[in-house]
Structure formats: C-alpha cells, structure tokens
Amino acid sequence: MDGFICVLKPPGMTSNNAVYDVRRVFGVKKVGHLGTLDPGAAGVLPVSIGRATRLFDYLVEKEKTYVCEILFGTGTDTLDVFGKVMQRDPERIVTEQELLAALPSFTGEIWQTAPAYSALNVDGVKMYKLARAGEEVPERRRLISVPGIELIRQMGENRFLLRVTCSKGTYIRKLCEDIGTELGTCACMSFLLRTGTGMFRSNRGFTIRELEEMKREGALDKALISCEEALSGYGALHLDSDRRAPAMNGLETDVRKEDGIYRIYSDGFLGLGEVRDRRARLLVHLY
C-alpha cells in the first residue's frame, strides 16, 4: 500500500506517536510524517506510507495554514501555555484595533528567531534539550514567509483567535510572542490548530480512532490519498508509449516543456520527474 493519510492529531500526541499508530493500523513498516507538529498542537499531520515516503522533499515545503489563539499579558519559556511563566503584565489590555494595526508588520517575508525550545539542531543536539539542561542556546534566525494573518475574533480579555498562512519553518508561538513585543507587552500561544499543509486539508483528515474503525470495516482504502493526487500541485507531462521503458530505466526524453518538476505519465502514472534544458527524466519512481 502506497499513499498518504491525513491524520487529525489531537493535543498531547507526538508526531512520532501518530506514525507508530498508522504503522500499527495499516500493518506496514515504511511510514513517515511530513513535518513535525508540536505535541500540544492539534490538526493536520500528513503521514506517508510505502513508496510515498520518497516524496518527502517535494511536499514538505508547501504552505501551511493555522488557527491559533494569542494570549497577551503572559510570557513563558516555551512561548506557549505549557511552559513556565516568566513574565506577567496584567495592566496592559490589548484592544482589537491595536492588534489589527500591528498585524501587517508580520506579513510578507520576515526574519524570525527560532524558540529555544525547538527541534532545531545545534552541533547534533536539539535546541530544546540544551534549554532543558539549562545550557546556553545559540540564536538561530531565518527568513520566513507569512502571506497572511487574519483576526477571526476576540475570545476574551487579551485573547484573540488568528488565522495564519505561512511557509514551512514558521514558529507560530514565536510569532505570537513577537506580536506581543510589538504591542509593548508579553504574549504566548494558548491554542494551535493546523488546518492544512499543502494539499492536505482537515476535511480529508481522520483521527486514529476513525482509522481503527475503518480497518474493522475493511474500508481503510477510503482514507488513502494516492501519490498522484498528493502531487496534483505539479503540472503533468505525458510521454509517448515508446518512452515508458526508457524513462523507467532512468533515461532522458526530449520534450517541449519549460524547466521544472512535473508528474510524469506514459501509459499511466510513473512518478515525479524534472525537465531541464528541454530534457525530462524521472526523479522519483512510483509505478
């Protein structure tokens, strides 16, 4: 069995736990996820099965969408409500108008400093392990893209629900802290739901319990997203029938296509390929 499962991960479950459960439910060994979702967060976690694991590099970079709650007046070491409270500012009450005025400063391409409690590596050691051990954590800054931040509604005093569209590698909890700093107070993230990553959306998702029920009913195939469908964001390139065997053996084919990555077809779907200098070759065989 090859393809993807859009797992709806609950808060408290690690991404590795979700992979283990999918492996158990489907009875396959080759399983992986397309990017970690924090244990405290919920929502869409795409999990690849079988040959679909070869597509990690071509799907992990896709745009993400989140719904989060920002809590002003409280700062923690982990930048979310699961951490140790380091700062309080009960006197500062942020208004909806102030927040709306600040949000444009956090859209577009911006530099972001990774939280100390993150899974980034420093000389082979994850940053959160250094932080937990009380060791100095070096600063890691990187350029991210935030196409949009939308205020959904105010949930209470100093609590606001936001919808964020962003690139891979964006830390929503750090975004919340930085918005607080911009407004002259402390802030942390009190809730996070990932609603989509690339073509994987919450309306195609299943909880582990739902997958277990589908297994009992013999309907697990209904949860599977094919490799071809997962790659639907890439254009299609059709080769003549006589080029099927050469393509499958790694040989190039002259084509009239612009350089780029394509879904390759020849008497059916073959996999993902690349066109360079008007010559096409398979990169990932999925036939």
Side-chain half-sphere CA neighbours of 230 within 13 A: 31
CATH of the domain at 240: 2.30.130.10
**Residue 270 DSSP SS3:** strand
Mean pLDDT, rounded, for 217-227? 95
Distance of alpha carbon 187 from alpha carbon 183, whole angstroms: 9
| DSSP secondary structure code for residue 82 in this structure | T
Instruction: Using alpha carbons, list the distances in angstroms from residue 12 to 18, 43, 168, 222, 243.
Output: 11, 12, 22, 26, 50
Beta bridge partners of 151: 162
If asked whether residues 168 and 73 sit together in one domain, one would say yes
If asked whether residues 11 and 108 sit together in one domain, one would say no
Q: How many domains does the chain have?
A: 3
Residue 220: pLDDT band (50, 70, 90) is very high
The predicted structure's pLDDT at residue 110: 95
H/E segment holding residue 109: strand 108-113
Cβ(25)–Cβ(67) under 8 Å?
A: no
Mean pLDDT, rounded, for 209-236? 95
If asked whether residues 149 and 186 sit together in one domain, one would say yes
The percentage of residues in the chain with a pLDDT greater than 90, rounded to a whole number, is: 84
103 phi and psi, to 5 degrees? -60, -40
Structural domain for 260, as ranges: 234-285
Average pLDDT, the chain: 93
Distance of alpha carbon 182 from alpha carbon 143, whole angstroms: 18
Residue 188 pLDDT exceeds 90: yes
If asked whether residues 188 and 85 sit together in one domain, one would say yes
Query: 88 is written with which tokens?
Result: 């309080």
The predicted structure's pLDDT at residue 140: 83
This prediction has a pTM of 0.89
The predicted structure's pLDDT at residue 112: 95
If asked whether residues 158 and 178 sit together in one domain, one would say yes
If asked whether residues 113 and 10 sit together in one domain, one would say no
Beta bridge partners of 194: 43, 66
Residue type, 22: V
The predicted structure's pLDDT at residue 106: 97
H/E segment holding residue 163: strand 159-166
What's the pLDDT tens digit per position in 237-258?
Answer: 999 999 999 999 999 999 999 9
If asked whether residues 92 and 144 sit together in one domain, one would say yes
If asked whether residues 114 and 41 sit together in one domain, one would say no
If asked whether residues 58 and 178 sit together in one domain, one would say no
Distance of alpha carbon 180 from alpha carbon 93, whole angstroms: 11
| DSSP secondary structure code for residue 206 in this structure | B
Mean pLDDT, rounded, for 88-98? 97
Mean pLDDT, rounded, for 115-132? 74
If asked whether residues 138 and 53 sit together in one domain, one would say no
Beta bridge partners of 76: 85
38 in active site = yes
If asked whether residues 30 and 88 sit together in one domain, one would say no
Cβ(149)–Cβ(162) under 8 Å?
A: yes
Residue 3 pLDDT exceeds 80: yes
**Residue 251 DSSP SS3:** coil
Check 21, 38, 80, 178 and give the catalytic one. Answer: 38
Residue 129 pLDDT exceeds 90: no
The percentage of residues in the chain with a pLDDT greater than 70, rounded to a whole number, is: 99
User: Of 209, 229, 249, which residue is a domain's last?
Assistant: 229
CATH of the domain at 44: 3.30.2350.10
If asked whether residues 110 and 145 sit together in one domain, one would say yes
The predicted structure's pLDDT at residue 134: 73
Taken in order 181, 129, 15, 227, the sign of the CA dihedral is: positive
Distance of alpha carbon 247 from alpha carbon 253, whole angstroms: 7
